[in-house]
Structure 1
Amino acid sequence: MLLSNVNSMKNIAIKTSRFLLMGLLTYGTLSCEDFLDKEPLADLTENNFFKTQAQATEALIGTYDVLQWNTVSGYHTTPLVLDILSDDSYSGGQPSSEPSLLEMDRHRVLTTNGEVWGLYKKHYVGISRANALLSNIDAIEAPEDFKKRTKAEAKFLRAHFYLDLVRFYENVPLILEPLAPSEYNQPAATPKEVYNQIAKDLVEAMADLPSSNLRASGGRATRWAAKALLARAYLFYKGVYNQEMQAGDVTVDAQYARQQLEEVITQSGHALLDNYADNFTRANEFSIESVWEISYSDENPWWDWGYIHGGEGNMQPQQQGPRIREATGLNYVAGWSTATPTQELYNAFSNDDPRREATILTEEEVGGRSNLNLGYQHTGYFSKKYTTSVEYLREDGQLELNWGNNYRSIRFSDVLLMAAELSVLTGTDGQDYLDRVRRRVDLDPVLATLENIRQERRLELALEGIRYWDLLRYGLNDANAAITVNRSSLPANYVGSLSDFNIQFNTARKGFLPIPQSEIDLSAGTLTQNSGY
């Protein structure tokens, strides 16, 4: 199903009522009662659904759909949660309405945390949909080239879900096919087993994914997205566990990962946009710089607060927008001031770096402090990349539920910086890759050392949900040094008490979230809790 234009591309993840039932087949001990509250429109089961090419396409769209979900039990997207866990953002907002985020911000996460459970469940729903499709695709009536591409996309998506899942929780069940109810209680696999499966899925997917950009692919996974995601997985696994990945007969080491990125750089046609800030405008969704992007849409107005996933909107802009009193004449409307950027992030940019202005929205840009209702952990800063910009404003539907801002999951600049890092690790020259990123924003070259590349990643990719994973793979000492904050006084633009802004990273937990206590309870001892909890 190729989609012909940007508007239709944004609807790639539109849910289909008929496939809803298939998505309820979650694994392990996962509960699905709230999803079952939605009555299916047809009496379909896995046994009688997968018959035609149209049904397989429905199933594939239903698998893509989970990418755009929030944390199932809350309003929070994965990138927003990651920024709060990092040193780039506080939880902000209102602690009374978002206590789960505050726990994450302070790294005092309880095993009963609602966001933790929601993220866990979300990713297994996506995995279950991918597995159901992969288990049935060979039997449907369809051309072989359709089957090959559909399987490749499903493997890409399964790898995508598992990569986030294992980076969040470390010890998770590895499920690769639909299970009977008697098999739901599955033990955790080793991280090595999960990462090797991620690598295997991505290496196999590469061969049959299209070698096109996102506009040409209709917003669906491409060969270049799979190569870039494999390199991202490798860098995290190597950094945390100091091991190589094994994709079946293929060893994924630094040299192999670098080769995949070099193919993206030299063969894909992807490139940097001339203006850094243009990456986050509506006109530049699926741009030449976007290697992988998660689609959201405002074209199907949604009203139901009780079932947010029924719509296609992105909750992150609403969460991160400033609490504006009067929006007339401004480029932004009122949001909830969640994930307020830190002074440390602001200071990390040099004064001549235009990425700071493109990344951080200041009080002055929204009418000054007098035009704001100040939220908790007010720093004077808000995210500008994913916020309540008037260019995304629409009149139909519930305003908060219909933000159409796509999430740029992997940009070409990230590919260049990963390639520069892997070049250093393999003893080759990555200077040009780093220079290209800095040259785009008119900054002088710096030597391509690991330290400089890591600093460049923070500035280039700030507030894009990447920093926390980077800190963990750099090592627990680096993560602790960056995230732990012990202030004796507050910056002038902060509002609150010292205790609101002091953070202590918990090295005993290694940066991982707990396995939800409800899942451990349901498993009757099959699942065990992560260390430090």
Structure 2
Amino acid sequence: MKLKIAKLSVLLWTLAITLQSCQDFLETDPESFIEPENYYKTEEQVFTALVGVYNTLSDTRGGSPLYGGDYLHQMGAEGEEGYYRHTPQRNIVGQFLYNASVPSISNFWDRLYRGINDANMLLSKIDGADMNENNREMYRSEALFLRGYFYYMLVTHFGDVPLVLEPTLTAEDAIKAVPRTPSATIYKQITSDMEMAFKNVETAVHHGHGGRISKSTVAGILARVNLHWAGHPNNETSRYEEVKKWASVVMDPGLVGTQHALNPSYEQVFINYAQDLYDISESIWEVEFWGNRTDHPRQAGGVGNYNGIRSTSASGIGVSNGNIRATATLFFMYEDNDIRRDWAIAPFDYKDDGTKEYRTDNETQIWGRYSGKFRREYETVSPKTSFTPINFPLLRYSDVLLMFAEAENYLHGPTEAAISAINTVRNRAQATPLEGTNLPTNQDEFLLFIKEERARELCFESLRRGDLIRWNDYVESIEAMVSTYEYSTTVAASTKSIIVNLRNIEPKHMLWPIPTKELMLNSLLVQNKGW
């Protein structure tokens, strides 16, 4: 672990203000363009353009559609683990009152296709640049991987989407007359690009931080992509072999050049994100944020504000809207001795004087707790504004172990290797290991345990909705969670009114609607069923 001396988004800050980045010129009016044929000439220009592709993940413009904002708290990524705590609104995707015109979904689609177009432009121009050949192949591979990740985000949220592999002047033009491509084709393109990228990206040890794509990143995300391809609605179960293969690659330091292991402290994993510390053994890939926007614009984000423990400016903790509350469903998944519970589900509220008021374990108190992983009290940047420097995890080693166990269970049942992977995660949490009479007796029993273990370990990391959908459990899980609140006599009336509203969920919500704006621009698009 070491101090984050230079984050990727800051490494080229000087370049970013002297050289026009790919992201910038693609969003500038035509008369002020740096024409593509006059750019991508030097290694500095290519790298600056690559940073622009990375910034798709952290950009806070256009409604903050990805990890800079909306996706962290408004868009239903918590599944049955958490809920948006405010009064039901029609523009909050996680409350199931929305339609195809909701801005956050349109912004999500638009930002990803802009990122894809930025990657396509770089890929089309990189061979003409005067640059080191090894760096050329590395930058090409990073752009291929990022394009694949953006398509993964699209296909898992919308199903069939237009596949665009050549650049256009604007991302909007790129899909004006392109029909939806079958999901299987999208997945084939994603995995092909990522497998190619694996050959030429550097190791995590070489980078020394998790903000840049490494061999471990590529292998771990390939496991995740194949896991979704194997599940609902595609059900390409042959892909479980690929899940196991790529998870195993991450677990083998000889193949990724890095020895991965869990940080001994679960809490420290998230303190690191707040304090600009790297731990490449555990945190394989993370979205980079930096500062507080008082010096460098747009480098800070909303992690810990939108999805933290509510606090006011008077507290000195840092402003947090605390938009996500944990559910009782998640709380009761934990054993009392599982140390993850009181970190992931905050056992206290911040008072205006900055002190903590601890909650009791009675049901009324349990059902009102905030999401607690991302805590602003640990930030070291000063002054604390409403923007935060906290990084957001995209891939942790514990996730790799759990993906390996799930694939191994599907292929061979609850083997010793699968049990060992699970117990590695549980041992850190001081939770009861799977052994003796606790051992699962069959695949179904073990899968049920894995489903809950993923919630216990990875809650509030924007993975749960996708997991529930690939297991075809999404609607049923939300309905079951709502029932626990609906019939309780100890839930506050204000909380119950929010939760009961989630009964609006329908099977159509397993895919988001194609944005109305896109249907108007592209006559070849067809809306998702039910929308």
TM-score above 0.5, yes or no: yes
Deviation at residue 243 of structure 1 after TM alignment:
4.5
Asked whether 1:149 is paired with 2:138, we answer: yes
Asked whether 1:51 is paired with 2:41, we answer: yes
The 2-side partners of 1:412 and 1:128 are apart by 30
> Which one of 67, 83, 88 corresponds to residue 57 of structure 2?
67
| Structure 1 match to 2:23 | 23
Q: Structure 1 334/395 Cα, relative in aligned 2: closer, same or farther at 3 Å?
A: closer
Q: Structure 1 204/84 Cα, relative in aligned 2: closer, same or farther at 3 Å?
A: closer
Deviation at residue 215 of structure 1 after TM alignment:
5.0
Asked whether 1:514 is paired with 2:502, we answer: no
For residues 492-507 of structure 1, what are the structure 2 equivalents within 5 Å? 492=490, 494=492, 496=494, 498-502=496-500, 503-504=502-503, 506-507=505-506
Identity %: 24
Q: Structure 1 38/408 Cα, relative in aligned 2: closer, same or farther at 3 Å?
A: farther
Q: Structure 1 38/311 Cα, relative in aligned 2: closer, same or farther at 3 Å?
A: farther
> Which one of 223, 241, 244 corresponds to residue 215 of structure 2?
223
The 2-side partners of 1:517 and 1:13 are apart by 38
CA contact (8 A) 1:6 1:215 kept: no
| Structure 1 match to 2:467 | 470
Deviation at residue 139 of structure 1 after TM alignment:
1.1
The 1-side partners of 2:42 and 2:129 are apart by 5
Asked whether 1:276 is paired with 2:279, we answer: no
Asked whether 1:480 is paired with 2:475, we answer: yes
1:139-194 CA-partner distances (Å, limit 9, x unpaired): 11112111110111111111111111111111211111113677641221111111
Q: Structure 1 454/505 Cα, relative in aligned 2: closer, same or farther at 3 Å?
A: farther
Instruction: Give the partner amino acid of 2:91.
Output: S
> Which one of 380, 383, 386 corresponds to residue 400 of structure 1?
386
| Structure 2 match to 1:460 | 457
| Structure 2 match to 1:336 | 321
Q: Structure 1 214/440 Cα, relative in aligned 2: closer, same or farther at 3 Å?
A: farther
Deviation at residue 450 of structure 1 after TM alignment:
1.2
CA contact (8 A) 1:262 1:419 kept: yes
Aligned to 2:147, the other structure's residue is in SS state: helix
CA contact (8 A) 1:12 1:61 kept: no
Instruction: Give the partner amino acid of 2:185.
Output: E
Deviation at residue 312 of structure 1 after TM alignment:
1.1
Asked whether 1:232 is paired with 2:232, we answer: no
CA contact (8 A) 1:135 1:178 kept: yes
CA contact (8 A) 1:18 1:44 kept: no
Deviation at residue 285 of structure 1 after TM alignment:
3.7
- The unaligned stretches of length 5 or more in structure 2 are 360-364, 441-445
CA contact (8 A) 1:80 1:316 kept: no
CA contact (8 A) 1:219 1:286 kept: no
Q: Structure 1 470/213 Cα, relative in aligned 2: closer, same or farther at 3 Å?
A: farther
Deviation at residue 266 of structure 1 after TM alignment:
2.2
| Structure 1 match to 2:423 | 435
1:460-488 CA-partner distances (Å, limit 9, x unpaired): 1111111111100111xx21221121343
Question: Which stretch shows the higher mean deviation, 417-426 or 261-270?
Answer: 261-270
1:419-438 CA-partner distances (Å, limit 9, x unpaired): 01111112154111011111
The 1-side partners of 2:159 and 2:407 are apart by 24
> Which one of 447, 451, 462 corresponds to residue 448 of structure 2?
451
| Structure 2 match to 1:159 | 148
Asked whether 1:100 is paired with 2:91, we answer: yes
How many residue pairs end up in the alignment?
491
The 2-side partners of 1:491 and 1:244 are apart by 44
Asked whether 1:133 is paired with 2:125, we answer: no
1:284-330 CA-partner distances (Å, limit 9, x unpaired): 74312011111111176369xxxxxx5111213212344435855x7
1:53-100 CA-partner distances (Å, limit 9, x unpaired): 1100111111111111247225724343455551112112466xx752
CA contact (8 A) 2:211 2:288 kept: yes
CA contact (8 A) 1:286 1:293 kept: no
Instruction: Give the partner amino acid of 2:299.
Output: E
Instruction: Give the partner amino acid of 1:319.
Output: Y
| Structure 2 match to 1:530 | 528
Q: Structure 1 236/19 Cα, relative in aligned 2: closer, same or farther at 3 Å?
A: farther
The 2-side partners of 1:346 and 1:296 are apart by 29
The 2-side partners of 1:325 and 1:59 are apart by 38
Q: What is the Cα-based RMSD across aligned positions, in Å?
A: 3.1
| Structure 1 match to 2:377 | 389
Instruction: Give the partner amino acid of 1:200.
Output: S
CA contact (8 A) 1:83 1:339 kept: no
Q: Structure 1 490/46 Cα, relative in aligned 2: closer, same or farther at 3 Å?
A: farther
Aligned to 1:409, the other structure's residue is in SS state: strand
The 2-side partners of 1:18 and 1:513 are apart by 39
| Structure 2 match to 1:116 | 105
The 1-side partners of 2:369 and 2:424 are apart by 28
1:436-457 CA-partner distances (Å, limit 9, x unpaired): 1111122222236111111111
Q: Structure 1 431/454 Cα, relative in aligned 2: closer, same or farther at 3 Å?
A: same
Instruction: Give the partner amino acid of 1:504.
Output: R
| Structure 1 match to 2:443 | none
CA contact (8 A) 2:41 2:129 kept: yes
Deviation at residue 338 of structure 1 after TM alignment:
0.7
CA contact (8 A) 2:78 2:460 kept: no
Aligned to 2:304, the other structure's residue is in SS state: helix
Aligned to 1:410, the other structure's residue is in SS state: strand
Q: Structure 1 451/235 Cα, relative in aligned 2: closer, same or farther at 3 Å?
A: same
1:120-143 CA-partner distances (Å, limit 9, x unpaired): 111111111111111111111112
Aligned to 1:297, the other structure's residue is in SS state: coil
**How high is the TM-score relative to the length of structure 2?**
0.84
Aligned to 2:200, the other structure's residue is in SS state: coil
CA contact (8 A) 1:424 1:450 kept: yes
Aligned to 1:293, the other structure's residue is in SS state: strand
CA contact (8 A) 1:25 1:125 kept: no
**How high is the TM-score relative to the length of structure 1?**
0.84
> Which one of 164, 178, 202 corresponds to residue 175 of structure 1?
164
Aligned to 2:142, the other structure's residue is in SS state: helix
| Structure 2 match to 1:263 | 249
Deviation at residue 262 of structure 1 after TM alignment:
1.1
Q: Structure 1 364/159 Cα, relative in aligned 2: closer, same or farther at 3 Å?
A: same
Deviation at residue 257 of structure 1 after TM alignment:
2.5
The 2-side partners of 1:99 and 1:298 are apart by 33
Q: Structure 1 498/359 Cα, relative in aligned 2: closer, same or farther at 3 Å?
A: closer
- The unaligned stretches of length 5 or more in structure 1 are 27-34, 246-251, 304-309, 372-376
Question: Which stretch shows the higher mean deviation, 416-425 or 185-194?
Answer: 185-194
The 2-side partners of 1:276 and 1:168 are apart by 30
